[in-house]
């Protein structure tokens, strides 16, 4: 009897992967210990933070004649506070072939894709990832209800475009099929990466960026310029790889236009320094220090020191 149970269990274990052969489980565990000293805090404080930790499922089904169904379902998981199954990450279904990829659901807009395409955000998701920090006016979104097309790689060039219906409560609250529009072009070849993006999220909320990066031997440099309505932003990054270690230096500034309701007429400047060490192909540890300041006296000098670990699976 016991042998029969064991045999049945082995049969199920062997059959299960075959039944789910088209599904890949993946994710990232990224947790840091941070020391904040910000203008809005009465005292500096220590925190433990989960930084874009995630778990995802993705798969394909071959339909023949070079056509495949693709899908992805990704969600956040807070390894610091235990919160699970958060929203806001990519989840979509679509078709892929030699002609490119068509998908719809939640997805990074082509503008956001162009932002990261040239490697400007070295040490992404850490304390010195300035794209989502709020320190610089580098707004980019992962759009719900997006309908997108991404071209195949054409000798290093990839083009992406997306439209987003307003559905009465999204972006400009319109009811059309293309109440928001986002397009980008991305190029990569022989160490050179370049990208440009344009986005109109409705209500004259338009933005444009160009970015470029270049890697020679163990040194990578990248720069970005964005024009977001009346706000102008520059971000520069440099990285030096030395075996299993990588040193990163970043500097950025937003020149806020006079019509900006929070920082009108002021410059907001950030800089960061970080060091990464690869523990293995999938795991790493790092330390980073970042500083943000502005001409506005009440918002001066915010600093953070952060140490963290990352594991990809």
Q: Quick one: which H or E segment has residue 105?
A: strand 100-108
Average pLDDT of the residues in 190-198: 97
C-alpha dihedral (115, 120, 125, 131), degrees to nearest 10: -50
Residue with the larger pLDDT of the pair 176 and 300: 176
> For 33-75, what is each residue's pLDDT tens digit?
999 998 777 889 999 999 999 999 999 999 999 999 999 999 9
Nearest-angstrom CA–CA distance, 77 and 143:
20
167: pLDDT strictly greater than 90: no
Mean pLDDT calculated for residue range 16-26:
67
Distance CA 150, CA 228 (A): 24
Q: Which residue has the higher pLDDT, 229 or 220?
A: 220
**Helices marked H in 98-221 — which ranges?**
110-117
Question: Where are any strands of DSSP class E within 114-230?
Answer: 142-150, 157-164, 180-189, 192-200, 206-216, 219-228
pLDDT reading at 188 higher than 90 = yes
Strand pairing category for 231-242 and 245-255: antiparallel
Under the banding of pLDDT at 50, 70 and 90, the label for residue 301 is confident
- Given a cut of 70, whether residue 260 has pLDDT beyond it is no
Assign residue 179 a region (left: φ > 0; alpha: ψ between -120 and 50; beta: otherwise): alpha
**How confident is the prediction for the chain on average, in pLDDT?**
87
Q: Determine the pLDDT at residue 93.
A: 98
What percent of the chain shows pLDDT beyond 90?
Answer: 67
- Residues 72-107 have pLDDT tens digits of 999 999 999 887 766 679 999 999 999 999 999 999
Q: What single-letter DSSP state applies at residue 299? A: G
Ramachandran assignment for 24, one of left (phi > 0), alpha (psi -120 to 50 degrees), beta (any other): beta
Token pair recorded at residue 130: 């300035």
Question: Which pLDDT belongs to residue 2?
Answer: 41
pLDDT at 140: 83
């Amino acid at each position: 009897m016991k042998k029969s149970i064991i045999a049945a269990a082995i049969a199920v274990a062997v059959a299960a992967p075959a039944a789910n052969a088209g599904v890949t489980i993946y994710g990232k565990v990224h947790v840091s210990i941070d020391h904040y000293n910000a203008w809005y805090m009465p005292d500096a404080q220590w925190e433990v933070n989960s930084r874009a930790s995630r778990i995802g499922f993705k798969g394909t089904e071959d339909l023949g004649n070079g056509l495949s169904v693709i899908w992805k379902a990704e969600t956040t998981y807070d390894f610091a506070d235990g919160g699970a199954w958060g929203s806001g990450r990519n989840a979509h279904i679509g078709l892929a072939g030699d002609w490119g990829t068509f998908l719809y659901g939640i997805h990074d807009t082509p503008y956001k894709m162009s932002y990261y395409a040239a490697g400007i955000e070295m040490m992404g998701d850490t304390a010195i990832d300035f794209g989502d920090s709020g320190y610089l006016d580098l707004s980019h979104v992962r759009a719900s209800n997006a309908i997108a097309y991404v071209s195949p790689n054409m000798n290093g060039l990839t083009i992406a475009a997306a439209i987003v219906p307003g559905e009465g409560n999204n972006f400009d609250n319109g009811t059309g099929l293309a109440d928001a529009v986002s397009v980008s072009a991305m190029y990569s070849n022989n160490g050179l990466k370049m990208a440009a993006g344009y986005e109109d999220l409705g209500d004259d909320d338009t933005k444009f960026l160009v970015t470029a990066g270049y890697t020679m031997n163990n040194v990578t440099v990248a720069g970005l310029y964005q024009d977001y309505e009346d706000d102008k932003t520059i971000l520069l990054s440099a990285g030096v790889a030395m075996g299993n270690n990588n040193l990163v230096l970043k500097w950025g500034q937003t020149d806020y236009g006079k019509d900006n309701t929070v920082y009108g007429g002021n410059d907001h400047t950030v800089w960061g320094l970080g060091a990464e060490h690869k523990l293995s192909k999938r795991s790493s540890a790092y330390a980073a220090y970042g500083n943000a300041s502005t001409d506005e006296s009440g918002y001066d000098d915010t600093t953070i020191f952060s140490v963290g670990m990352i594991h990809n699976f």
